[in-house]
Every structure is written in C-alpha cells, then in structure tokens.
Structure 1
Amino acid sequence: MEDVGKDRLILNSALGLLFLTALVLYHQSIQNKYQDHIKEQSLKILQLNNDLKHLLAVIAHDIHSPLQATSMMMDYIANEKIETENRENSLLLVNKQLKSLRSNLDNLLEWSRMNMGGIQPKKDKILLHNLILNAVESFEVRRSEKGIKIISEIHPSASIVADPIQISIVLRNLLDNAIKFSHSGTNILISTKEAPSAVELCIKDEGKGMSESQIQNLFQGVGEPSYGTFGEKGTGLGLVLVKELVEANNGAIKVHSQEKVGTTFLIQFPK
C-alpha cells in the first residue's frame, strides 16, 4: 500500500479530532436538554404540590371558621345559655350559616376539581356588591356574637374582571381577619373607589391593629401566631393565600395599620 503523506495524515487526524469534538458536543447538548427538561418537570411538580397544598389550606380555612362559630352557637342553645325568646332566632341563624357553609364548600370543591392541574384564574366580570353580600352572610353568627356591624358602601354596579371563586376566598379571608381582630361593638367598613381602569376595594376595621414588624411579615407566613379579641388564634397563612390569589388576578394588595386603632386592607383590581 502507498504510504499516506505527512500532510494527509495531519489533515485526517485534524478531521478525526474535529468529528470527535462535534460528537462530544452533540452528546453534551442532548444531555443538557434532558437535564433542563428534568429540571423543568421538577419545578412543575413542586409548583403543583404547592398549589395542591394551597387548595387544601383554603378548603380547611373556609370550613373551620364558620363551623367553629356554628358549633359555639349550638353549644349555647344546648346548654340554655340563650334566652327562650331568642332561641328560635338563634336556630334560624345557625340554619342560615349551615346553608351558607354548604354552598361555600360546594363552590370550593368544584374550584379545587378544576384546579387539580395547578391554580389558574378563570376570569369573568364580577359584581362586587353580590359577592360581598354573600361573604358577609357567611359570617353572620360570628358577627352577631361579637356585636360587630358590617357596613357595605359598595355601589350595585361596581365590577371587576377576575376569578369569582378566588376573589370570594380573598374576601372571606379578609372579613374573617377583620372580625377576629375587631373589638365588640365596633364597625367594619367595606367600600370601593373607582379609577378609569381599576377598582380599589377597601376593608377597614376598628380592631387591635398591628405593629410595623407585624405588617412587614404579614404576607410571608412567618412570625408568632396572633390572637383575636376573643382569643381566636390566627396563623397569618390565610393572608399569604390572599396575596397570591390577588396577584394571580392581576391585582395588588396593600395594608395600613395602627396599633389599638385598626387595620385597612386596600386591593386594586383591573375593571
């Protein structure tokens, strides 16, 4: 056989190295794509787990508060701590509360079923007046027990574009907090302020209020548990969910508070 020339040998060697280098790079790119895909799937699974935890937390929170109030009212009736003339009204109130609880639970379960693949807002035009009336009604027992008056100044035509069930969860969480930390005989004011492209919803109480450090940790789910004016325990986890649901609907939430004066939550939504 004819000997391969030195130049040809160098060229063949260079081409061989180039081919091997290209093969290694191609293999690495495939590996990197697989790694990126695995990482993306892991993040999706982590997000889905977080969403499912939030779904369970929302359901537990929305069942626990009204159920606890209804149970307390039934104890009063059973132990004859309520005068005879008021017993019938109390039973009617409990029945109304249970119907509201069942309706809320049905909505939450349906919403959970629709969001098993991850929480996604299903936006529609919402009339705030009706949504707030339903939310207020679900706290009738607790409101009456503490002698708190809830005043709604929402115009019947005030509307936003958002997920109705998610915003209902937001409202019930904020009202739950307002009642929990309000003093007996005080007022909770619900009002709106309209701008050309947005609506600002305001929920203001005359309760315990918060310090600056409490406000800073409010939406983080950290810090010591707080207690309401009747010793009701609060974790702050509901407000973490509130912030996430508000932002998922392109909204923004702010809070102003002063100790021993009260707290105001301001939520801005697009129309």
Structure 2
Amino acid sequence: MKNLTTEIERLQEENNLKKDWISLITHDHKEAFGSLLWIIEALESGVMSKDDFFKLLPRIKQDAQKNLQTITDTSEWIKTQMNGFEPKKSKIFVLDLFIQLRKEFEEKLGDKNIDLQFKGDESLVLHNDELLLLFILKKLIDNAIKYSQPNEAVQFEAVEVNNTIILSITDHGLGMTEETRESLFTFQSPVFQGTKGEIGAGLSLKIAKNFVSLLHGKIEVVLTENVGTKIAVFLPRIEK
C-alpha cells in the first residue's frame, strides 16, 4: 500500500511538472513573439523610428537568448522522459569535473572577474551519469555567477559523508529570502535579474531537481545568508 501511494504521488508530481512546464513555455514564447511582432509593425508603420528600433535590439537579443535556452533545456529534459531511459553510470573523477566546468565558464567568470574555486577532497570518485550530473552543476554554477557581484568568488565543494557524496556550489551574491528559498524549485519561484541584468526563464533549477532524482539523490539549499547562497547535491556512492 505504501509503495502504491508513493507511486501515485510521483505520477502526480510528474503531471504537475509537465503542466506547469507547458504553461511557462507558452507564456514566455507568446510574450516574446508578441513583443517582437509589435516592434516590427511599429517600425513598418512609422510609429517607431529606426533609431528607437536599434536601441531595443539588445533587449530583443536577450529575450531570444532566454527562449533559446528554454528550448535547449526542454530538449534535454524530454530525452529523460522517453520510455526505457536509464542513467548511464560511468566513473567520474570530481576534480576533472571541476576543471571541465571552470574551462566551460571561463568567459562568464572573466566577464565579472569571478574566481571559481575548488574546495574539499580532490581524490573523490563517483559512479553515476556524467551528462546528467554536468547539466545539474552547469545550472548551479551559471546561477551562482549570475547572482554574484563582480570580483567575488564561487566555491565548488566536494566531500563524502557516510557513503554520500555532497557536491555544493556557494556564491557570495544577492542571497535570497526564506520565501524564495521555499519556492526555489517550483514554478511559483520568482525570476530575478542577475547583478549585470542577466535574465532567465526560471526553468533551470526545476530541471536540475528532476535530474537529481533520476540520479537517486536530493538537492537542497543548505545555507542562505544575507549575502550569498549555497546549494548542495547529495548523491549516493554507487559502485559499478
């Protein structure tokens, strides 16, 4: 009976996720294309000058980037919803993972002069799905950079406690309220601008949480201060 209840709750959660996901994508794309169409029509009719049009291009580009990221993230999530999908376990050296992530975010880190630092056990190894894990950590690091002030540091920490590997990302940025913390992984979470005006669809952490569940782990905001946030991913040490 307990297993049946758990399965029903899981299916309800999945259905709510899909429903909210479709609602979010529909709203964001309708708004973006509606604004773009209005701007083009205003230019064609002479209501808007060419100078004013070109002034709006940075915002148009920003909206396009946000919606492209939404489509890309959705595509990655859909792959995990296919029948028969199973995470592919491989041997992952945590320090190599960190080096790969630091290289990938080199441009964004340099743009704000942020130092991505490794903290913890450099010898840690885990067996899990590297693609899903990379997706999760990329989203956490991207958010940490987005909400960090220039010239600050972001820490990537790796430790093992009681056969559980904990990978956490800590920033020293805007922080969050308790209310935001409670809604962080839901579709009710507000979407904030980064410290340099960066925006997103508010979708990445929902996908990250879903992927963490596929890896039989959990994700938590384990520290919220007046300045900065720490988000940790707890993963079982799964041997081949």
The partner residue of 1:254 within 192, 214, 220 is 220
Instruction: Tell me the percent identity.
Output: 30
Instruction: Check 1:266–1:113 CA distance in 2 against 1; reply closer, same or farther (3 A cut).
Output: closer
3-state secondary structure, aligned to 2:117: strand
Secondary structure of residue in 1 paired with 2:232: strand
Q: How far did 1:170 drift? A: 0.4
Q: Which amino acid aligns with 2:177?
A: S
Normalised by the length of structure 1, the TM-score is 0.57
Report the alpha carbon displacement of residue 221 of structure 1 after superposing the two structures with TM: 2.2
Question: Within 2, Cα distance between the matches of 1:167 and 1:176?
Answer: 14
Instruction: Name the SS for the 1:176 alignment partner.
Output: helix
Determine whether 1:137 maps to 2:92.
Answer: no
- The whole-number CA distance in structure 2 between the counterparts of 1:220 and 1:110 is 19
Question: 1:134: how far off?
Answer: 1.2
Q: Which aligned pairs between 1:80-119 and structure 2 lie closer than 5 A?
A: 116-117=82-83, 119=85
Q: Deviations over 1:64-93 (max 9, x none)?
A: xxxxxxxxxxxxxxxxxxxxxxxxxxxxxx
Residue 265 (1) aligns with residue 228 (2): no
Q: Is the 8 A contact 1:128 1:154 kept in 2?
A: no
Among candidates 226, 229, 232, match of residue 195 of structure 2: 229
- Where do 1:173-188 residues align within 5 Å? 173-188=139-154
Alignment of structure 1 residues 153-172 onto 2, 5 Å = 153-172=119-138
Question: Cα distance, 1:125 vs. partner?
Answer: 2.7
Note the C-alpha offset of 1:257.
Answer: 1.5
Contact 2:112 2:149 in 1 (8 A): yes
The 1:148–1:254 alpha-carbon spacing in structure 2 relative to 1, beyond 3 Å, is: same
- 8 A contact 1:189–1:203 mirrored in 2: yes
Identify if the C-alpha distance between structure 1 residues 185 and 217 changes in structure 2 by more than 3 Å, giving closer, same or farther: same
State how many pairs are aligned: 175
Q: Structure 2 unaligned runs (5+)? A: 1-10, 26-71
Q: Does residue 1:244 correspond to 2:233, yes or no?
A: no
1:207-266 C-alpha deviation (Å, 9 max, x unpaired): 00000111111000223321100010133310011111111111111112223x100011
What is the distance in 2 between the residues matched to 1:180 and 1:159? Answer: 28
**Distance in 2 (alpha carbons) for counterparts of 1:111 and 1:264:** 24
Cα distance change on mapping 1:238 and 1:270 into 2, 3 Å: same
Residues 189 and 113 of structure 1: is their aligned pair in 2 closer, same or farther, counting only changes over 3 Å? Answer: closer
Deviation (angstroms), 1:147: 0.7
Moved over 6 A (4+): 108-115
Q: Name the larger-Rg structure.
A: 1
Q: 1:124 to 1:186 in 2, by over 3 A?
A: same
Shift of 1:140: 0.7
Distance 1:127 1:234, change over 3 A: same
Amino acid at match of 2:169: I
Q: Secondary structure of 2:231's match?
A: strand
